[in-house]
Amino acid sequence: MFNESSLSTLVSGAERASTEWIVERPDICIGPVCTLTNLANFGNASFGSNFTNINSDYVTLSNGTSLPFGSLSKYIYNITMVNNNGSPLAYVSWFNKISSFNVTYVTTSSIQVTNGHK
């Protein structure tokens, strides 16, 4: 069981200014009590033009402007999913030059330790 909490900041003009590609660990809620499920071993989830066979993936902004997905890379943040102990459950790769990335399931045996860090 866990208690959900969040931190938010009000940002002027941020409405419709973001997009998300999500691979997530769902929870099961019975009334107000929620429990995280085990993350399914999904292997790799691949996003972007390397995998869609579309020459260039575009993002359309709320003002109607379309921009190549890769042109937004300086604004992209990867979030590593971790368990209650802080160990990674899935890793997100950085974008490659063709605007594609992967999310990879982490098994206990696939965690590499370098200089004492996972």
Sketch the domain layout of the chain as residue ranges: 40-110
In the predicted structure, residue 113 carries a pLDDT above the cut 70 = no
pTM: 0.58
In the predicted structure, residue 36 carries a pLDDT above the cut 60 = yes
pLDDT digits (tens, 9 = 90+) for 68-97: 776 776 777 778 888 888 888 988 887 766
In the predicted structure, residue 18 carries a pLDDT above the cut 70 = no
User: What pLDDT does 30 receive?
Assistant: 92
Task: Please name the residues in contact with 86: beta carbons below 8 A apart, sequence gap of 6 or more.
Answer: none
**In angstroms, rounded to a whole number, what is the distance separating the alpha carbons of residues 61 and 46?**
23
CA end-to-end distance (rounded Å), the chain: 26
pLDDT band per the 50, 70, 90 thresholds, residue 111: very low
